[in-house]
Chains A and B, each alone.
Chain A
Amino acid sequence: MGVKAQVGFLPERLLFDRWMSGMRFLRYHHALANLPAESRAADCAAVLEKVGLDAHAGRKSLKTYSRGMLQRIGLAQALLNKPRFLFLDEPASGVDPAGVLLFRRLLAEARAGGTTIVLNSHQLDQVERICDRVAFLRDGKVQAIEVLHAGAEAKRHLRVRFGAFDDLTSEALSRLAAGAMAELVHPLNPAREAVFAVSDDTAATRLLAALLQGGMPVVEARSEEGRLERLFLEGQQAVGS
């Protein structure tokens, strides 16, 4: 029971007591979480506002809520007890773009406040933006665990393709990258592609300038997005082969 007091949970399918109003639902969970009764009204109003729902929405029956509103009230109840562990199952499912941004901000806030977030999602781009570590599951078993760097410290990955060149080596690229305050994270592959970690656009420009000045025949450079998607597909191929 002690652990449960420190846990927040948002299920994917919000099948909770729909006969309640939004505010009644929050008050109910506030009480079940054994939070102080004297701060109940204020806590519930605060968390309702936090997820972007107003007092009018709080008075409405959950039966009348849209999918996005249900997700918001669901997240509100999960955040009520300021949990140390937050379990979220597809939190942004059915949420409008503004809601997605709000969710991302709230989760970043919770994360910065020391909350450990366990996020289950098929939206890999969302996962990539929020999570530090990612586990790929298949048939209930962990297939792979990848370490990411989410949030403020996130570094962009830049994939650079080079033309044929005798002095093109991973060591040379690593040295040039270090000089431009970047990092070679994936050495050259047979397709003469290498991946560098850079902090921002300026750092990316600085890295490319350093590579060109170092005589490296840069043919193409593109920002690495959907890294998780690629890891996932690689994992799938590995399982299939």
Chain B
Amino acid sequence: MNKEIVLATLEQRLRSPVRCALAAAFVFFASGPYLIALFVKAMPREIQGSPHGGMLALVFAAGVLGQEFSSGAPQLTFTRPLPRWQWVLSRAATCAAIASVLAILPYFPALLIGIPLDQIALAMLGQVAEAVATTAVVAGLSSIVPGLTDLALLAGANIGFGILGLFANLLRDDQARAVATWLKSHIEPWFSPKLDLVGLAHGASWSSHALLVILSTIAFWLVIAIAMSNRKELSYATD
């Protein structure tokens, strides 16, 4: 990890008003149920499922490598004694850190409405895991395509999995349905990582498989990001 790259990435990402506005919106809407419960007694006082960890990662990690390669900035950065993997990991880790910090914010109002601390801690942990894993996915995709095309690629993949799920339900042939279901359930988590830990507080059993999927997703995409960045020809901007 390189401190300078971390600081520069932090400054660069937080300078964008669009990113900050989107992040504020996600945090606000995720904390909505708990904020409302502060004033409305009828509101359920339990952890609400929310995709905001992954969404925040999308906001801050979109184009984390691709935009840089498109701008041509790494051409100069890489003339310094800095291994490319450090540049990749530092940038990805910074985005993951920003998304993670913001992802736990919505749960602070939950503390005030009497939701048990263990549930809140598990929800925070789940959101952090999703934020980190989604950052890794976006970093990997961002190393493959220029600019912000990583978002389009991710959207395309999710639409594809949606269609696959639809097919799985519509197919009459059992074998074909089994294949479609298998593909969706095994490949989709590598593009849309999820980790619901709140169930553990309600007696659900611990799934090491879910943790393994998250960790392997992070490792896979970061390896892709490093490998692709190492292969980049940096004659000049890529587009």
Contacts and interface: CB of A to CB of B under 8 A. Distances in A.
Interface of A: 1-2, 4-5, 7-9, 11-13, 15-17, 19-20, 28-29, 31-34, 77
B8 A15 contact: no
B26 to A, nearest CB: 23
Nearest to A77: B76
A28 B79 CA distance: 13
The A contact surface, by secondary structure, is loop
Given A15-B73, A20-B8, 13 more contacts: A8-B79, A9-B76, A13-B237, A16-B72, A16-B76, A17-B71, A19-B11, A19-B15, A29-B76, A31-B3, A31-B4, A32-B4, A32-B82
Interface string B67-84: 000011101110111110
Given A1-B83, A29-B80, A32-B80, A13 B12 contact: no
B236 interface: yes
B75 to A, nearest CB: 6
Contacts of B15: 19
A3 to B, nearest CB: 8
Interface of B: 2-5, 8, 11-12, 15, 71-73, 75-77, 79-83, 236-237
A17 B73 contact: yes
B6 to A, nearest CB: 11
Contacts of B82: 1, 4, 32
10 contacts: A4-B82, A8-B79, A9-B79, A12-B236, A16-B76, A20-B8, A29-B76, A32-B82, A33-B80, A34-B81
A142 to B, nearest CB: 18
A34 B2 CA distance: 11
Given A11-B236, A15-B236, A1 B81 contact: yes
Residue among A8, A31, A34 with the highest chain B CB neighbour number at 10 A: A31
B77 to A, nearest CB: 7
A239 to B, nearest CB: 24
